[in-house]
Amino acid sequence: MEILAFGVQADERPLIEKAFEGHHEVRCVGVFLNEDTAPIAAGYEIISTSVNADLGHRVLQTLAAGGTQLIAQRSTGFNNIDLKVAERLGMTVARVSYYSPYSVAEFAWTLAMAVNRRIVRASNRTRDFDFRLDGLLGRDMRGRTAGVLGTGKIGEAFTRIAHGFGMNLLGWDIAENPACVELGMKYVPKDQLLAESDLITLHVPLIPETQQLIDAAALRAMKDDAILVNSSRGGLIDTAALVAELREGRFTGVGLDVYEAEAGLFFLDKSLEAVEDDTLARLVTFPNVLVTSHQAYYTVDAVGQIIDATVQNVLDYKAGRRSENVLVPRS
């Protein structure tokens, strides 16, 4: 049996091919799954998709009509999949419920420190042999307050690093994480966390209840010199409201690895095209904003774990087994 893997990055391809070796043939394509590319999957019982795939009802109907029965998504998030339609069509859907939380937590800290210490600006200057320090003044993290929205595995990993910096720790979640409490974290209401934190980081899933969790009111509640980091899902932040606050000169720095309208942009080369997204175009012009292309998970360790879990999801499907990774079981 041959499996079709959509949205495979050049670095991923040899890892995916090696992982499936001895189990199934795999065809890797760089294009992302959407309405235009879905017909490619005709005849493939099993496909694997990336986090930016469009798995809405039209794409799912095309896949089902072409004979696809298993969708193995190579990510933890699944807000891009219409699970009810998949179930109605009799399709099995699986994801990767766990991979290295350190990859994302460490990258969130990379963003935080890059905007705090003006690393991008400094690097650009020294390339032009400009070694002035004007505009590069940063702040110590020790003694300041880190606010962690979402204290699951990734939030806990971020908290451990913050603890190592000697920061005060505030947390917000539906349930307290005992490991974070042991590190000295105090759980508080969201509004209090936003008002008191010098560094705010988002580690919650994107579900209807968290859509634009950081809206205009939440942004206004933050300190004027706060640092905001999002390495989770773009839809957690009202980007238009964020741009409005940035135009007022607020925030020491904003580090974004995700963007609420990133589908059709991130993971692609758009450098020779006109930018149609006015909000994103304005966002990247702010000197205190750093935007990266959804790469927080992208380490050898995490990608390896994602691929191994994807292979196991395929093997479990073929053997009729069900694991915690299954979102829609085999009918």
Average pLDDT over residues 194-198: 98
The pLDDT of residue 275 is 84
The pLDDT of residue 263 is 82
Q: In what order do the strands lie in the sheet with 289-291?
A: 186-187, 168-172, 145-149, 199-202, 227-230, 253-256, 289-291
Q: 238: Cβ–Cβ under 8 A, 6 or more apart, which residues? A: 212, 214, 215, 216, 219, 260
Q: Is the pLDDT of residue 253 over 90?
A: yes
The pLDDT of residue 130 is 96
pLDDT band of residue 237 (cuts 50, 70, 90) is very high
Residues with catalytic roles: 233, 262, 294
Average pLDDT over residues 267-285: 91
Average pLDDT over residues 266-286: 91
Q: Please report the DSSP string for 36-76 in residue order.
A: TTGGGGTT-SEEEE-TT--BSHHHHHHHHHTT--EEEESSS
Cα distance between residue 225 and residue 219, in whole Å: 12
Q: Is the pLDDT of residue 240 over 80?
A: yes
The pLDDT of residue 56 is 95
Radius of gyration, CA atoms only, the chain: 21
The pLDDT of residue 265 is 85
Q: Please report the DSSP string for 111-165 in residue order.
A: HHHHHHTTHHHHHHHHHTT----TT------TTSEEEEE--SHHHHHHHHHHHHH
**In the structure encoding, which two tokens stand for residue 262, read together?**
């990133």
pLDDT band of residue 250 (cuts 50, 70, 90) is very high
The pLDDT of residue 79 is 86
pLDDT band of residue 268 (cuts 50, 70, 90) is confident
Across the chain, which distance is largest between two alpha carbons, in Å? 65
The pLDDT of residue 205 is 92
The per-residue pLDDT for range 44-81, each reduced to its tens digit, is: 999 999 988 999 999 999 999 999 999 999 998 888 99
Average pLDDT over residues 210-227: 98
The per-residue pLDDT for range 12-42, each reduced to its tens digit, is: 999 999 999 999 999 999 999 999 999 999 9
Q: Is the pLDDT of residue 317 over 90?
A: yes
Q: Is the pLDDT of residue 84 over 80?
A: yes
What proportions of the chain, in percent to the nearest 5, are helix, strand and coil? 35, 15, 45
Mean pLDDT of the chain: 95
Average pLDDT over residues 251-262: 96
The CB-based long-range contact list for 179-182 (8 Å cut-off, 24+ gap) reads 180/148, 180/151, 180/155, 180/156
The pLDDT of residue 51 is 86
The per-residue pLDDT for range 162-181, each reduced to its tens digit, is: 999 999 999 999 999 999 99
The pLDDT of residue 147 is 98
Q: Is the pLDDT of residue 331 over 80?
A: no
Cα distance between residue 229 and residue 205, in whole Å: 15
Burial 189-209 (b: 16+ CB within 10 A, else e): eeeebbebbbbbbbbbebeee
Q: Say whether pTM exceeds 0.85.
A: yes
* % of the chain at pLDDT higher than 70: 100
Q: How many Å from the N-terminal Cα to the C-terminal Cα in the chain?
A: 20
Q: Please report the DSSP string for 178-235 in residue order.
A: HHHHHTT-EE--HHHHHHH-SEEEE-----GGGTTSB-HHHHHHS-TT-EEEE-S-GG
Q: Is the pLDDT of residue 1 over 90?
A: no
* % of the chain at pLDDT higher than 90: 92
